[in-house]
A and B are shown apart, each in its own frame.
Chain A
């Protein structure tokens, strides 16, 4: 291990952080790359969905996500699995993510595509992603019962939870019936 402290921090027991602030790191992964991560070697075809106002309202009601969902960001594999790109906006951060849903309606995976990191430590050690993997939309919808969102979870975690939830509502309303 090698640690070289910043000059302003060296040799003082309690330091004030007086060095200049820097911009936040942001990760960025393209749609194509994310598709390959979630469905390696598989071909995905665009499968845009047009949502009715009633469907949008239901997604809003059941997830409390207000930003409009962009129906053109839906893809399908030959096996009938789904790949959806969405974004949620928290108080301090934006998270763009992809959700992969297996043909049987269970969640295959979640990958963050863009993330402006502003919070991190506040979230407890919750079982988080595993709460989703393998769940169907029925299970996912009962947020308070099934998804043990940590007490005092971050805005970012909460918003992502809500985002996944609204996509599962959309799956239920629109994608599930399509062959």
Chain B
């Protein structure tokens, strides 16, 4: 069974194999419900999401958040540490300044996920500005939660694909295709994946002119400048949340040999466009 619904700003597809139809139909709904829940908790386009409330209030008082939000923030901080600051979800001020996120009050100093603290009682506070955008990790997190919900509901195998961030579950090999960074309507065979995840980052879609300057949705937290590479960056990892986050580390470093890839059992892949873009 296959189903596709608009979620996370993209088309999310769920496919279930080797499972009886009644179980599959219940499982599919559970999978989409998990993704909706992640979106509800973490979208910065929703003023009442946990992340929006952290961005607005956590500098002034501790903000209570849901367990999933705590989990993703703890992971985002661990990734920040192990990537030596290359993965930083505190880039919302730059994205807002470039017209890619809703505008908020300007920050007084540099925003970083390193400034947040997770308290014992399930709250989030900030010791310095932390305006978060989980665009680099939440889609992968949602895909993992969906896959878990599918398995818990009795699905034996299949795939969850949120606009290119995907997770294969079950024992069967899945053929994986990647878009050509030069022509995203063309896809190419990349390999076979079983029980794992893959995510890809490229700036060729998000790139645009903002006040005469070229910007993209990928921010280098060190320079606070947009990444404008024409390559695409894919990471294969056991979990989609890791694959998703590490594509940003790969895009920023251009280095497939960083220690954090092996630490998370991840395989980085960099792709050249098949032809030079205009």
Contact = CB atoms under 8 A, between A and B. Distances in A.
Interface of A: 1-6, 9, 13-22, 24, 27, 29, 37, 40, 92, 109-112, 115, 117-130, 148, 150-154, 156-157, 160
Contacts of A37: 3, 25
B6 interface: yes
Contacts of B187: 21-22, 24
Contacts of A157: 6, 9-10
A130 B36 contact: yes
Nearest to B238: A1
A129 B188 CA distance: 30
Interface string B204-218: 011010000000010
A40 B29 CA distance: 12
A152 B208 CA distance: 8
A21 B188 contact: yes
B20 to A, nearest CB: 15
B271 A17 contact: yes
Nearest to B275: A16
A27 B9 contact: no
A126 B194 CA distance: 29
Given A3-B191, A21-B187, A22-B189, A129 B5 contact: yes
Interface of B: 2-11, 13, 25, 36, 39-40, 42-46, 49, 99-102, 133-135, 138-139, 163-164, 173, 177-180, 184-197, 200-202, 205-206, 208, 217, 231, 236-238, 256, 265, 267, 269-272, 274
A156 B11 contact: yes
13 contacts: A1-B265, A2-B196, A6-B191, A9-B191, A27-B3, A120-B163, A120-B179, A121-B202, A121-B206, A122-B205, A125-B135, A152-B100, A152-B208
A123 B9 CA distance: 6
B190 to A, nearest CB: 6
Contacts of B208: 152
Nearest to A13: B256
Contact of B99 (A126, A151, A160): A151
A121 B179 CA distance: 10
Given A127-B39, A127-B45, 18 more contacts: A9-B269, A16-B271, A17-B190, A18-B274, A27-B3, A37-B25, A92-B185, A110-B6, A112-B6, A115-B11, A121-B179, A123-B10, A123-B163, A124-B100, A125-B45, A125-B139, A126-B8, A152-B100
Nearest 7 pairs of A and B residues by beta carbon: A122-B205, A120-B163, A1-B196, A126-B9, A112-B4, A123-B9, A5-B191
Contact of A5 (B13, B99, B190, B265): B190
Nearest to A148: B45
**A111, A112, A125, A156: which has the most chain B beta carbons within 10 Å?**
A125
Nearest to B239: A1
B61 to A, nearest CB: 25
Contact of A17 (B44, B99, B188, B202): B188
B146 to A, nearest CB: 14
A6 B217 contact: no
A115 B4 contact: yes
B273 to A, nearest CB: 8
A154 B49 CA distance: 23
A1 B144 CA distance: 14
Contacts of B135: 124-125
Contacts of A13: 256, 270
B195 to A, nearest CB: 5
Contacts of A9: 190-191, 269
Contact of A1 (B179, B194, B270): B194
B218 to A, nearest CB: 11
**B99, B134, B189, B236: which has the most chain A beta carbons within 10 Å?**
B189
B5 to A, nearest CB: 6
Nearest to B231: A14
A22 B177 contact: yes
Contacts of B256: 13
Contacts of B177: 22
Contacts of B269: 5, 9, 15
A109 B101 CA distance: 26
A75 to B, nearest CB: 19
